[in-house]
Structure 1
Amino acid sequence: MTVRNLEHLFQPRAIALIGTGGDTDSLLLRNLVGAGFRGPVMPVMPGKRALHGVLCYPDVESLPMVPDLAVLDVPFNRVPDAIRALGEKGTRAAVLVGKPAPNLSPEDYRAQIQAVLDAAKPFLLRLLGPGCIDLTVPRTGVNASVAPFRPGAGRAALVTESAAVATRALDWCQSEGLGLSHLIHLGGAMDVDTGDVLDYLASDVHSRAILLYLEYIDDARKFMSAARRAARVKPVVVLKPRRGSKGAAEDAVYEAAFRRAGLVRVADLDELFNAVEILTSARKPGRQGPLAVLGNSRSLGLLAANELEAYGGTLEGLSEESSEGLALLARDPESTANPLDLGGDADADAYGKALDTLAGDKRIGGTLVINQPNELVDNTAIVDVLEAHARKSRRAVLAVWSGPRAGARGRERLKQTMPAFEGPEEAVRAYMRLVQYQRNQELLMETPTSMPEAFETDPESARLLISAALTAGRDQLNEYQAQQLLTAYEIPCVPSRRATTPEEAGREAAAMEGPLALKIMSPDIVHKSEVRGVALDLESPEAVVQEAHAMEARLRELYPDARVDGYLLQPMTPREGAFELCVAVMPGGRFGPVIRFGHGGTEAQVIADVAYGLPPLNMHLAREMMSQTRIYSMLASNRLRAADLDALALTLIKVSQMVIDFEAIESLEINPLWATAEGVVALDSRVVIRPPYTGDPARRLAIRPYPKELEEELNLPNGRRFLLRPILPEDEPALTKMVERTPPEQLRLRFFRTIRTLPHEMAARLTQIDYDREMALAVTDPGLPGQVELWGVVRISADPDNETAEYAIMVDNNVTGMGLGPLLMRRIVEYARQRGIREVYGEVLRENRPMLRINEAMGFTVKTSVDDPNVMHVTLRLDGNGDDTAG
């Protein structure tokens, strides 16, 4: 399911309460009636005439009107019958307060859940729960809650899997005097889940931010797609409890997923709730600017500075003019300008002068104003000054009015215009989440560089290699086979020769030059160091034979049942100045395979300097992933010991592509991967395989990869050759150039307004697409993305239900008359039909006759828009329920 019928859940016109008349029903009814809901609330209580003065009905059939939403509080084994009755009545959403009995076996529990889903399916009736204790939408008066109080209307939505967090949120709203746009407890999420709610809230104009409390993610692909969409249009803050050292790897995968989606992760509930204030009331911080801290307490200023440094923020960077002006205002001439101590007797005038000094500084990211209220000054006047400054400021302004009692009145008033906190630490943490959100947005919109070189994979050789190993009953490749696999994806490896016996190893050594390295190959040994299975600097064939026998003897002694696949001989590779790194693939649970990068060598596990990323990767994502490690600063900035960062990023992309191509690869490790200024080379590798799943292999990935199967070579009758392919983020510069060389009149026909160029944000959104939700097919010259011209683009964007999709098309003036417009339209309609989309539609200016002729030739229905007589609304049905003559 997606967002279908969720409007009945969150914006019902009539509500039914299905219950038995118990205490929970009484509380539910009081909350439903007492929250200001404008429609009727109709209790269905067999045997009761009225409850709290509200007329009750004996059954669903007797209800005088259709309830859009039903709240069910009945024994769970009676829920399927109630759902069927509601569905037949016309209800399209239900909140399930109850849940299956706790003593059921897992099989019986699943059977009860499935019975409810089966009852709802014919009616497309959406289910929230089971065990949902709170669905509150203050703006519309919906309060399907068992809580004794409700939040006021606010601008942030809270979505939680935990009943305790929902209750804590209500208590927090009550104590802080803040509101929410939605409070949604998912309960067991049998139908409506986090992905569905994210999709809905992303389009909700009343929710300026979304707060998530998650403990698990069931459908990673659905979650990532919805989260990425939501995070592009509003802040999404997530709290997922960490699981300690035992769950560190799993937690790191979640961290990578949240970062990839653009979510801001917080550490605890206080941070989650504080995010409501900062994200819905504060202006954006300046890009990469310092936080200016000023107040009447040196100690509180220093605490703020310490917290800022701990969270990666900075005080450095004020303009020289600001620094000099603030220094004149400091209580102690020897103290710093940031944080600025105005002294305990600082009055409104002192605060005003400091704020005026900072007002013209374009370098600052935001201002934190600290006040420890005291009887020496008029604290109300200070509030007046700060409010006036905050209204004029173009940057974030935060306040700390310290003390649970002394600062309470000031905080309450300040919260009407800005985020206000009791302590400097929580204020700084909240500010840094705002900074993190903006950084995430910049990362999401950053244009990836073109790959430094084209690389040709040989998936057929890799497939034969893996198939042969699986047919032989093996669960991993030996090192020689692993090296062949890497070579098939153009990952540089040390040249190797394979031998099956010590004597054969000696003969191979005789044909090689220089000192050699010898490695034993055994599928039963993870780390060769356990049996001293690597020998270096062997100068003669005799030394090779002797060491091979010694290795096998040690192996037999320590692991008598271990198998020996043979020996690998490699020339010694100079390692002066080389960084030892590790690139790996590991199972990521629900997120599918995950790429790992970090410090390599025998001490890699002890150093524990790693970063994780989800495939697919591009150059930008690979670089961003590497930057999460400590060793990256050495790789990037060491002039005497440089590393080829492009080669490293390209290696990550190649491994990512390998994982996309072969679901049989369960895990892979290249360790060490040597990196120098000349490039990279894999010295050792290990690949674990398993029989592939049935079905679409790409479904195991949390993010849909580039659909290479849609690529098509175009050979036009005039001799021009083009490539038709899905658009890529690297195409942003080419798309911008195509727009810039297009005549203004043609741009007006395409965009319905006059434009000269595409802003970066718009160009990024048009090229960085989610292939699960939309598709854009681009006509380019043959060559590397980011290095070729773009000549035309057609796109469709489907609704979350995959029912309808809007199309848009643009063809460069220099290639008109070649038939590219009709060809692009045919291809995108074919794609929409394959996706199961029922209808393709578009808006075309009445004067755009060439486009309308294409629409008519393809069988689109053309009608005048009801909103604008100058616009034609064109539709093409793809499900047989209407005209569809496109061929």
Structure 2
Amino acid sequence: MTVRNLDALFKPKSIALIGASQKERSVGAVLARNLFRAGFQGPILPVHPKNAAVEGVLAYADIDALPLVPDLAVIATPPASVPDLVGRLAQRGCRGAVVITAGFGEGGDSAGMGLRQAMLDAARPHVMRIVGPNCLGILVPGAGVNASFAHVAALPGDIACVTQSGAVATALLDWATARGIGFSHVVSLGDSADVDFGDMMDYLALDPGTKSVLLYIEGVTHARKFMSAARALSRLKPVVVIKAGRHQAAAAAAASHTGAMAGSDAVYDAAFRRAGMLRVTDLSDLFAAVETLARLPPVKGERVAIVTNGGGCGVLATDALLDEGGVLASLAPETIAKLDPKLPRTWSRANPVDIIGDAPGSRYCDALDGVLADPGVDAILLLNSPTAVASSVEAADAVISHLKRGDKPVLTSWMGELEAQEARRRFAAADLPSFATPTEAVKGLMHLVRHRRNQAQLQQLPAAMPDATPPDHATVSAILAQARADGREWLDEAETKRVLAAYGVPVVRTVAVETPEEILEAAKDLSLPLAVKIRSPDITHKSDVGGVALDLPSVASAKEAAAAMLRRVKALKPDAEIAGFTVQEMIRRPGAFELILGTASDPTFGPVVLFGHGGVAVEVRNDKALALPPLNMPLAYELMQRTRISRQLAGFRARPPADRDAIAAALIQVAQLAIDHPDLRELDINPLLADEAGVIALDARIRVQEKGKAAPVAVPPYPNHLETQVVIRDGTLVSLRPIRPEDAPDIITMIEQVDPEDVRLRFFAPLKSIPRPMLARLTQIDYDREMAFVARPMLDDGSLGPIWGTVRLTCDADLTVGEYAILIRSDIKGRGLGYTLMHQIIGYGQERKVGKIVGTILRENEPMLTMARDLGFGLKVSEEDTGVMEAALPLAQ
């Protein structure tokens, strides 16, 4: 389920309160008071077996006595009674319930878990949606709904708050109400037995009254659903998330560096970043994010100007800005020239703009005008320190009256308590964010900057990956299957190198032997010098037991080193099973960087990818970052840039830069390996040497798990199985495959070859060029919820020609309706490609069990109307626009 019947919860026409009470301070009494005093315009029906009335309103003895079927039922009765109540309400036609009651398996209680399942079983046949159990309730101020036992009502507004903690909800309500910040929705999910974060994000994405969303998360259950909903919502509205709790149990059992990160909070951080969300760390940051999101326009860049009446405060703000990764704007010469005659002779003539301690309000306004007009400034921070020669309140009033709402965010920090408190109150009343200290203001501003960065990642248009050898799936599958058949968790080094080589990761030449004597023959073709390493399923860190010998000048010395190593390892680890040795060529790349690349299977989000500074001191350096696969070149670069070593990879002093494209390609290949083979539990490449000549994996480990044990990939990967070839009506062989983000340049080229009239018929308006956000949206799709195919002719030499046409199907979250769109290059029309693409997308819809396919067609677009009729679509004139026909094709389920 996703958004089905959520309107019954958040836009009900009638509400029943089961468990209503008149007992002072009881949950039932608070619920009744909140419901009746929220301004709900429909009937509210209290249910109580004994009380004749609740809050002065006639009560009903049980739900069978209700005079009508409520849209929404609020249930606050003992847990044992809830499944029966839910079943009876659902049978009567009630489609939404908020279950306040606890006792449904919290802490793993088996009896409670049974009640929880019984409640869900009673609701599902009737598609009744449930918020809770064990929750604070829901508040929808715009609809007059306060079905909660919160101590304060929410003000109307356009921020939605969805939380797993009722305590966080009440704290946020208390804080926001004191500052005049309102909400479109406040939803306490509780145990999320039915309605979860994915459902709520899908619903709020389409809610016109919600402009931004706050999430308080303790854990995610359905990761792919969560990621799909989060990415869709983040494209439309700012999403701020705070994540509580750490999950170290899985990490404690891991034996690789990457595996130790699986199940950790860092994986959630990677997921939120990939979804375009803004993550904050604590409630104070959440409140600051509310302040900025509620009251500021989006920031269009990262360059900040600081205006202050005190030089020291400006320095503090600058330090805080740079500490947070912000950018101090450089004032244009024209700006300085404009400010010179208006500011005191001793002003700073630089950023921060120090307007001197005696600055009246008019001087703030003059400085503000100057920096707002500077094209090199994206946001402004105004600071005020109280002085005896100028009024802080007067300065605040001047700024409030002078500042016009523009497209650049302006934040204020009036320091102190006496006058500053009144100034901050006036800023709040004027809808201008204000903070007690410069550091807090900078953090609020950086929330906007980080959100912009995450949004930019959602809209990036990646270049094609450098040419790479197609992966050898069969070889890898066979190696992993053999390890499982042998009952082994770990591949030996030779097997690991074969797996990496099968996916195009450069590896050092390696041979495996069982005894020291076999080295003489097996290693004779390897280049000298050599390295010898112990092979043992019981030894993962070889150097800890003397299981590595390097720089061996001859094959004979390699044999002797192996014999000595065998004696040493048996003495240190007598119980370890010794499978033999690996012998490999020593790689001499003296200026190379030592990196670590890896993947691990996270219990919630499936495979994750790690990049960082490698070598034997990897744990000590702790310089690493995580990302969710699949990756492309921009995502791989972004992952690299989140580490400290990334700055070194760019080159410094006499050390040339490393081939970062080669590193990014290795990351992409390793990410694809994890996607294609989910039974690969952990992979470490450490070190991966990288220099100007490229990369090479020196040492690596792979751990295998049983098939079906891994969580699925959280971000839907490219569906290779949908690639096909077809012959169109004129006999041309055409490749059809799902669209990729890297197709963006070819899509632009295709549209440039479409007549302007055909573009107008497709987009319902003239379009000279495709805006970047639209192009990103067209090419970066969620393969779970939408599909777009591109058609390219197969050329005589076996290569592919340019894109001739595209067709797409965009589905709602429930897959009940999918809307199609198609565009063919004008010079290709009439060759049968349009019908081929439509058959392809209809077949895809049938495979995905989409309820029906719909489309909107201009009445003048007779060729498209004819094709729709030929394909079985029903046509009718749109009720909203008589110039548009609505096409619909029900699909067999």
Residues 745 and 512 (structure 1), Cα distance of their counterparts in 2 relative to 1, 3 Å cut: closer
Please give the residue correspondences for 1:799-818 in structure 2 after superposition, counting only pairs within 5 Å.
799-818=812-831
Contact 2:288 2:443 in 1 (8 A): no
User: Closer, same or farther in 2 for the Cα pair 1:753/1:5, shift >3 Å?
Assistant: same
**Equivalent residue number for residue 114 of structure 2:** 111
1:711 corresponds to = 723
CA distances 1:165-224 after superposition (whole Å, capped 9, x unpaired): 112112212322322221111111111111111111111222211111111111111111
Taking the TM superposition and a 5 Å limit, the aligned residue runs for 1:156-555 are 156-241=159-244, 243=246, 249=261, 250-289=264-303, 291-326=304-339, 333=346, 335=348, 337-373=350-386, 376-377=389-390, 379=392, 381-415=394-428, 416-555=430-569
Matches of 2:437 and 2:328, distance apart in 1: 18
Who is 1:876 aligned against? 889
Provide, for residues 106-153 of structure 1, a one-character-per-residue CA deviation record: whole Å limited to 9, x for no partner: 321211100110111111111111111131111111111212321211
Question: 1:214-255 CA distances to partner (integer Å, 9 max, x unpaired)?
Answer: 111111111111111111111101111364999893111111
1:256-288: CA deviation from partner (whole Å, max 9, x where unpaired): 111111111112111112212211221232423
Q: Partners of 2:383 and 2:93 in 1: how far apart?
A: 56
Deviation at 1:843, TM superposition (A): 0.5
Residues 276, 512 of structure 1: alpha-carbon distance in 2 compared, 3 angstrom cutoff: closer
Is 1:655 paired with 2:670? yes
What are the Cα deviations for residues 617-658 of structure 1, in whole angstroms up to 9, with x where unaligned? Answer: 111111111111111111124473221111111111111111
- 1:297–1:371 Cα contact (<8 Å) kept: yes
Partner of 2:9: 9
1:100-139 maps to which residues of 2 (within 5 A)?
Answer: 100=103, 106-139=109-142
Structure 1 residues 770, 718: closer, same or farther in 2, change over 3 A? Answer: same
| 8 Å Cα contact 1:391-1:417 kept in structure 2 | no
Name 1:642's counterpart in structure 2: 657
414-423 or 228-237: bigger deviation: 414-423
Name the stretch that deviates more: 403-412 or 807-816. 403-412
Q: Which moved more, 1:67-76 or 1:202-211?
A: 202-211
Tell me: CA distance 1:388–1:319, structure 2 relative to 1, closer, same or farther (3 Å): farther
Q: Distance in 1 between matches of 2:170 and 2:106?
A: 25
TM-score by length of 2: 0.94
1:569-589 alpha-carbon deviations (Å, 9 max, x no partner):
222221221111111111222
CA contact (8 A) 1:17 1:43 kept: yes
Which residue in the other structure is 2:646 paired with? 632
2:254 matched to which residue of 1? none
For 2:734, the aligned partner's letter is F
Specify the SS of the correspondent of 1:700.
Answer: coil
SS at match of 1:506: helix
Instruction: Report how far residue 737 of structure 1 moved.
Output: 1.6
Contact 2:835 2:867 in 1 (8 A): yes
Percent sequence identity is 42
- Aligned with 1:650: secondary structure? helix
Distance 1:101 1:711, change over 3 A: closer
Query: What SS does the aligned partner of 1:337 have?
Result: coil
Whether 1:847 aligns to 2:850 is: no
Give the aligned partner of residue 825 of structure 1.
838
Q: Residue 734 of structure 1: CA displacement?
A: 1.1
Give the counterpart letter for 2:712 in structure 1: R
- CA drift at 1:770: 0.6
Aligned to 1:47: 50
Residue 513 of structure 1: CA displacement? 4.1
For residues 188 and 513 of structure 1, do their structure 2 counterparts lie closer, same or farther at Cα, with a shift above 3 Å needed? Answer: closer
Aligned partner of residue 195 in structure 2, secondary structure: coil
Paired AA for residue 634 in structure 2: H
Given that 2:142 and 2:156 are in contact with CA atoms closer than 8 Å, whether structure 1 keeps it comes out as yes
Contact 1:330 1:341 in 2 (8 A): no
8 Å CA contact retained: 2:738, 2:788: yes
Distance 1:261 1:481, change over 3 A: same
Q: Distance in 1 between the 2:208 and 2:471 partners?
A: 46
Contact 2:519 2:558 in 1 (8 A): yes
Could you tell me which runs of 5 or more consecutive residues in structure 2 were left unpaired when the two chains were aligned: 252-259
Contact between 2:330 and 2:376, CA under 8 Å: does it hold in 1? Answer: yes
Letter in 2 for 1:625: L
- Do the aligned residues in 1 keep the contact of 2:347 with 2:353 (CA within 8 Å)? no
Paired residue secondary structure (2:650): helix
Whichever residue aligns with residue 130 of structure 1, its letter is P
Deviation at 1:363, TM superposition (A): 0.6
Report the secondary structure of 1:407's partner residue.
helix
Q: Please tell me whether the aligned partners of residues 458 and 488 of structure 1 are also in contact (alpha carbons under 8 angstroms).
A: yes
- Matched positions, count: 875
Residues of 1 paired with 2:150 and 2:496: CA distance? 59
SS of corresponding position for 2:191: coil
Residues 1:730 and 1:390: Cα distance change in structure 2 (over 3 Å)? farther
What's the CA shift for 1:77?
A: 0.6
- Cα-to-partner distance string for 1:478-514 (whole Å, 9 max, x where unaligned): 1011111111112111112222111111233444443
> Does structure 1 residue 688 correspond to structure 2 residue 703?
yes
Letter in 2 for 1:192: V
Distance verdict in 2 for CA 1:305–1:284, change over 3 Å = same
- Deviation of 1:309 (Å): 1.3
Once structures 1 and 2 are overlaid, which stretch shifts more, 754-763 or 342-351?
342-351
**CA–CA distance in 2 between the matches of 1:163 and 1:506?**
70
Contact preservation (8 Å) 2:515, 2:580: yes
Structure 1 residue 870, shift from structure 2 partner: 1.8
SS of alignment partner, residue 391 of structure 1: coil
The separation in 2 between residues aligned to 1:493 and 1:367, in whole angstroms, is: 51
Tell me the CA shift for residue 328 of structure 1: 6.4
Question: Which residue is 1:664 aligned to?
Answer: 679
* Aligned AA (1:123): H
Task: Kindly state the Cα deviation for residue 101 of structure 1 after the two structures are TM-superposed.
Answer: 6.9
1:806 & 1:35 partners in 2: Cα distance? 38
1:476 match: secondary structure: coil
Task: Tell me how far apart the structure 2 counterparts of residues 626 and 101 of structure 1 sit (CA, whole Å).
Answer: 44
Instruction: Compute the displacement of 1:548 (Å).
Output: 0.8
Q: Secondary structure at the match of 1:775?
A: strand
Q: Provide the alpha-carbon RMSD of the alignment.
A: 2.2
Q: Distance in 2 between matches of 1:813 and 1:272?
A: 51
Deviates more, 1:328-337 or 1:358-367: 328-337
Q: Distance in 2 between matches of 1:511 and 1:473?
A: 32
- Letter aligned with residue 14 of structure 1: S
Mapped to 1, the partners of 2:533 and 2:440 lie a distance apart of: 55
Q: 1:564 aligned to 2:578?
A: yes
Distance 1:286 1:853 in 2: 45
Structure 2 match to 1:593: 607
Measure, in 1, the Cα distance between the counterparts of 2:672 and 2:219.
27
SS of match in other structure, 2:702:
strand
Alignment partners' CA distance in 2, 1:526 and 1:725: 42
8 Å contact from structure 2 (residues 792, 800) kept in 1:
no
Query: Residues 818-865 of structure 1: CA distance to partner in whole angstroms, max 9, x if unpaired?
Result: 211111111111111111111101001112121112211111111111
Residue 762 of structure 2, aligned match among 722, 726, 750: 750
| Secondary structure, aligned partner of 2:770 | coil
Secondary structure, counterpart of 2:576 in structure 1: coil
List per-residue Cα deviations over 1:267-315 (Å, max 9, x = no partner).
21111122122112212324232x1111323333232222111111122
User: In structure 1, what is the Cα distance between the partners aligned to 2:216 and 2:164?
Assistant: 6
- Alignment equivalent of 1:739, drawn from 751, 761, 764: 751
With over 3 angstroms needed to count, the CA separation of the structure-2 counterparts of 1:251 and 1:228, relative to structure 1, is same
Q: 1:746 is aligned with what amino acid? A: D
C-alpha separation between the residues in 1 aligned to 2:33 and 2:738?
54
Distance 1:115 1:404, change over 3 A: farther
Report the residue type matching 1:163 in the other structure. G
